[in-house]
Chain A
Amino acid sequence: MCFKWVAAEGELRVDPVTRAVDASRARRKISDYDRNTIEAARVAAGSMGGELVGLTFGGPDARTGLKDALSRGVDRAVHVVADEGTRADGHVTAHVLAAQVRRLDDVDLVVCTEGASDTYAHETGPRLGELLGWPVVTNVRELTVEGRTLRAVRVVGVDLETVEADLPALVTVVPEVAPAPIPGLRSVLGAAKKPSEQVPVADLGLPAAAVTARTTVTSFLG
């Protein structure tokens, strides 16, 4: 599963004169809905008899998020460390995540959240699925895996759509897919013993075009 380390939206500061948003001093956290996603992916991995790898791409500070993800039920965490000062848009993020997923062995299912609490762009999951060349199922609120078949109930406008696809596949989920239990003391302590790994983005060997943002941010105002 993929998770995102984001600024806490309640702690953004807005300059009263320029309206410029300063997120540098805001506390960081796992994107809210990623907590539900970890739980849904944990249950899915259990039913498949597999291992749950938590994957994130972010600056060096995202390292703090690994322990949080591990305490919430991820078996192993991988942090692709972004170069400081470079901006990643959806294009870059999806290329990095896809390259790292390919480096893992025998991945059958990737679960992303439908959107992150900062951007909520509905972008990274379907981009990643397309780059991997896998079937994509978005906006999922119920997820089951039987054998090599994924079955999902999607919320599509006013309808509920039940679909099936063969593995490997990429799914994006909404928070209703699973509760997000607060990790107990044992889980938090156990997280320290689980493996985690940091991979510099340069180690992925991606071409420059894949890690160059397609858009330029010219302003960010409150």
Chain B
Amino acid sequence: MTGIYVFSEDPRLAAELVTTAAALADEVYVVCLGADAARTLTATGATSVVVLEAAGPGTVGAPRPEAYVAALAGLVRDRGADLLIVGATVSGWEIAARVAVLLDSALVSEASVITALPDGAWQAERVMYAGGAVQTETWSGTAVVTVAAGRAVAAAAPGSTSPVEVVAVDVDARVRVVSRTARVREGVDLASAARVVCVGMGLGEPGDLALAGDLADALDAEVACTRPVAEDRGLLPTERYIGISGAHVHPDLYVGLGVSGQVQHTVGFRDAKVVVGINTSPTAPLFAVCDYAVVGDAHEIVPLLAAAVRARR
């Protein structure tokens, strides 16, 4: 056992990965970019914090996280890590897959449960068909696994300070950043919402929003929508749509109103603990990933549901 390496360009997620790794191995090395991230991560109880510092030709400003792929793979290979856990972000997905190629290893994407097996092999579970099925995979030898935010609490070891190693590495300058701008937002943070009421095209008339808003109010939930409701009809701002290219949410409760359940939408909430669907069509694909399925007209059911929730509060 030589330990687990964890990496994320997001220090908060990296601290969560330390918790996940510490349950699997005695030695946990956290790899990060930049001195600020390192300072945060020295308080996680990690065995050590490894800072990758860009050097060499082509280093201008702070390189993008994807520029460190070869450096990260080299580190993991040289140190003989058992496992590399990468935070499942847009950059992390790419980094994990490319590192897996350089290590000639397995990749398990967005694992929900990772287990060290007694014979030295590993096992992980992952969701398939956007929540419709769970696949269990095993492997032996070094592998790369990605883990989404919110799977573990951030590690904190008050009073302890992990040693910091700075490693100078070459970065890949082939992809050049021209600009980076924030998407227009109105301050809603769906990713951290505990409850979400989601409006689909089955409820996509302007007057229907009040209905969804009322249920959200009763549940103390955020109102979200599917992509066509935001981008095709413009009924809600684009930062409120859940899906592949929209928000990825991890709520305790997701309520879908008139949501058909296309996979490009359901991928965005596959971590939700409880999923409720209300749809007139009994064959709506959403029902395949629901814990509670209500076949009926949301116009009729939502006011009753909102009243029932208020009565219980």
Contacts and interface: CB of A to CB of B under 8 A. Distances in A.
A218 B93 contact: no
A106 interface: no
B137 A215 contact: yes
Nearest to B143: A214
Interface stretch (B47-55, B124-132, B152-160, B299-307): B124-132
A49 interface: no
Interface in A87-132: 89-91, 94, 114-115, 117-127, 129-131
Given A115-B267, A120-B263, A162-B177, A214 B106 contact: yes
A127 B130 contact: no
Interface in A146-183: 151, 154-166, 174-176
Contacts of B285: 9-10
A163 B178 contact: yes
A159 B181 contact: yes
B227 to A, nearest CB: 8
A131 B93 contact: no
B129 A9 contact: yes
Nearest to B125: A219
Contacts of A130: 69, 97-98, 101-102
Given A127-B98, A155-B245, A217 B178 contact: no
A39 interface: no
B101 to A, nearest CB: 4
Number of chain A interface residues as a range: 35 or more
A203 B136 CA distance: 31
B90 A218 contact: no
Contact of A219 (B98, B102, B136, B263): B136
A162 B109 contact: no
A216 interface: yes
Interface in B225-248: 227, 231, 239, 244-245
Nearest to B93: A122
Assign chain B's interface to a size class. 35 or more
Contact of B176 (A12, A165, A176, A219): A165
Contacts of B179: 161-162
A81 interface: no
Contact of A161 (B101, B109, B177, B227): B177
B112 interface: no
B313 interface: no
Contacts of A120: 109, 128, 130, 244, 263, 267
B107 A118 contact: no
A156 B9 CA distance: 12
A118 B128 contact: yes
Contacts of B227: 176
Contacts of A209: 104
Given A119-B128, A136-B66, A141-B245, 17 more contacts: A9-B263, A10-B285, A14-B133, A90-B107, A123-B107, A130-B69, A135-B174, A136-B98, A157-B90, A160-B181, A163-B176, A163-B177, A214-B139, A215-B108, A218-B137, A219-B134, A222-B132
29 contacts: A9-B285, A9-B288, A10-B283, A10-B285, A12-B129, A33-B244, A90-B97, A120-B130, A120-B244, A121-B107, A125-B97, A136-B98, A138-B94, A141-B245, A156-B90, A159-B180, A162-B178, A164-B175, A164-B176, A164-B178, A165-B176, A176-B231, A214-B139, A215-B139, A215-B143, A216-B137, A220-B134, A221-B133, A222-B132
Interface of B: 64, 66, 69, 89-91, 93-94, 97-98, 100-102, 104-110, 123, 126, 128-130, 132-139, 143, 146, 174-183, 185, 227, 231, 239, 244-245, 262-264, 267, 283, 285, 288
